[in-house]
Chain A
Amino acid sequence: MTTRRLRLAAQIAALGVVAALLGLLGWKLLQGESEVTSELARGGAPEAPAFTLERLDGGGELSLASLRGKTVVLNFWASWCNPCKDEAPLLQEASERWAAKDVVFVGIDVKDFRGDARAFVERYGITYPNVYDGKGSTIGRYGVTGYPETYFVDPDGRVRHRIAGPVDSAEEVDEAIRRALPPA
């Protein structure tokens, strides 16, 4: 009887361990799946995940919430990423062109050295705010799959469009911004 009980307890424990491991696997898979990219793919307008990150220029922190009411262009980049270098001048020009229309550009430097990132900003003459996310805490929530990637957030804080890979032309940026602008 005791042996039978012991065997039953061992079987229950083994099942518990397997269930826990399966749960862990499911949790990990769900973590990898970003609601932003999946909802955008379904034609929706997901809420842009909030963040508060240190500014690369040393001017304290910048939060996405502080930009509510403006159209925000979020560009994920890194100094070691070659396509990021190609698109940098284009994004800087676009930020100047749209500044008067309440469109704010924000660069999020991910998985990078702070020093390299600051040198990058200086080299390409980028004047819009850039924040530092060395640990990459934002990329999973946004569903960033490579660098660069750009997200267009409307004044209500909803992601309206995403460009995976480098921005190729001024027209492409302008068109994406128009999608995130409030109705005229």
Chain B
Amino acid sequence: MRLLAAALAALALAAPAAASEQRPTASELESELVCPVCETTLDTSNAPVALRMKAFIRERIDAGDTKSEIKAKLVADFGPAVLAVPPRKGFDWIAWLLPLGGLAVAAVAVGAVAWRWSRRGEEPAPEPLDPELERRLDDELERYE
């Protein structure tokens, strides 16, 4: 039953992704591509080159290109720096692995701190004072009251 639910969920997520690949919208592509001059995503840029790239994206969508084909054409002219998200290959893997590594290190650090705090409560209670010493301490304290 769980397996079926997981499969249905995966299908539900895969269908929009496939539709986005086959029939991309201009707005989603503009948010996934970077203006090479101002280095912000196209949807937030009105630089002349960004406007030209937006026009190109619309032309290619109308021509029936897929999302990957449009991105590949832009990368061919402007280089991989136009991709807002680096591709998962070669040296670019580092952009994906570094944040994950950082999260792992942070999780280990938080776990270690939490473990130490939890152990503090388990420390044995201090040994009771010697009755004679305790009596003398009480006497001394009474003198100051």
Contact = CB atoms under 8 A, between A and B. Distances in A.
B131 interface: no
A78 B77 contact: no
A80 B81 contact: no
B93 interface: no
Instruction: Classify chain B's interface size.
Output: 10 to 19
Interface in A103-159: 111-114, 116, 134-136
A31 interface: no
A25 interface: no
Contact of B36 (A10, A82, A111): A111
B42 to A, nearest CB: 13
B78 A111 contact: yes
Given A111-B36, A111-B37, A134 B78 contact: yes
B49 interface: yes
Interface in B71-111: 77-79, 81, 109
A136 B34 CA distance: 14
Contact of A80 (B52, B77, B79, B109): B52
B49 A78 contact: yes
Contacts of A41: none
Nearest to B48: A80
A50 interface: no
Contact of B48 (A10, A82, A113, A135): A82
A113 B36 contact: no
Interface of A: 10, 78, 80-82, 111-114, 116, 134-136
20 contacts: A10-B109, A80-B48, A80-B49, A80-B51, A80-B52, A81-B48, A111-B36, A111-B37, A111-B49, A111-B78, A112-B49, A112-B77, A113-B52, A113-B56, A114-B77, A116-B52, A134-B78, A134-B79, A135-B78, A136-B36
Given A112-B77, A136-B79, 11 more contacts: A10-B109, A80-B48, A80-B49, A80-B51, A82-B48, A111-B36, A111-B37, A111-B49, A112-B49, A116-B52, A134-B79
Q: Which 3 A-B pairs have the closest CB atoms?
A: A135-B79, A80-B48, A111-B36
